[in-house]
Amino acid sequence: ILIKEVEKELKTQLDKITTKRIIKKSLRQKKVIKVKDLKEAVKLANQMAPEHLELQVKNPRQYLNQLENYGSLFLGEYSAVVFGDYCSGTNHVLPTNKNARFTGGLSVKDFLKVLTYQQINKKGAKKLAKTAEEFALLEGLDAHKKSARIRKTK
């Protein structure tokens, strides 16, 4: 029933929009997926990792701890994507193509450069060499294996 009502409302709203032609073209790409319950919907949302995710349900906050993969989450009927796009304060540079599985919206952290270094002494090299040789052997990287071995016997 809900799917039919949404489809009907979509048609009604489409007739009122000046960009109808563009939206119709975009809607050719849409998919309607019927789920048995909200638990399945949450699981599907996490798999899809959408750029925008709207929870148009009663008590949407109860699902916060279950949702892990989204660019920006909109809770409840008044939290429309348009507000996130233009003025509610959340960042609008969001991950697409399921990239929300491993990152969220752009933040100041994205402009920080993280540099790492390591310095291993002779004792440490001897201790690490066996493990490094085993991994190198598994990966078929003979030069890596020899590099570890040389440092073990040096």
Q: For residues 44 and 35, is the Cβ–Cβ distance under 8 A?
A: yes
pLDDT at 149: 96
Does residue 55 lie in a domain region?
A: yes
Q: Are residues 148 and 88 in the same domain?
A: no
Give the number of other CB atoms < 10 A from CB of residue 56: 12
Establish whether 144 is a catalytic residue.
no
User: Whole-angstrom distance between the N-terminal and C-terminal Cα of the chain?
Assistant: 75
Give mean pLDDT, residues 5-20.
93
Do 39 and 93 belong together in one domain?
Answer: yes
Candidates 52, 92, 133, 144; catalytic one: 52
Q: Rounded to two decimals, what is the model's pTM?
A: 0.71
Residue 114 lies in a domain: no
Q: Does residue 14 belong to any structural domain of this protein?
A: yes
Distance CA 118, CA 122 (A): 13
Q: Specify whether 29 is located in the same domain as 96.
A: yes
pLDDT at residue 77, rounded to an integer: 93
Question: How far is residue 134's CA from residue 82's CA, in Å, rounded to a whole number?
Answer: 54
- For residue 117, being part of any structural domain is answered with no
Number of domains observed in the structure of the chain: 2
Looking at the DSSP bridge assignments, the partners of residue 73 are 53
Report the alpha-carbon distance of residue 64 to residue 12 in Å, rounded. 31
* 8 Å CB contact between 100 and 49: yes
pLDDT digits (tens, 9 = 90+) for 28-68: 999 999 999 999 999 999 999 999 999 999 999 999 999 99
The pLDDT assigned to 6 comes to: 93
- Domain interval for residue 135: 122-153
**Residue 51 known to be catalytic:** yes
Catalytic residue among 7, 9, 40, 51: 51
Does 89 share its domain with 148? no
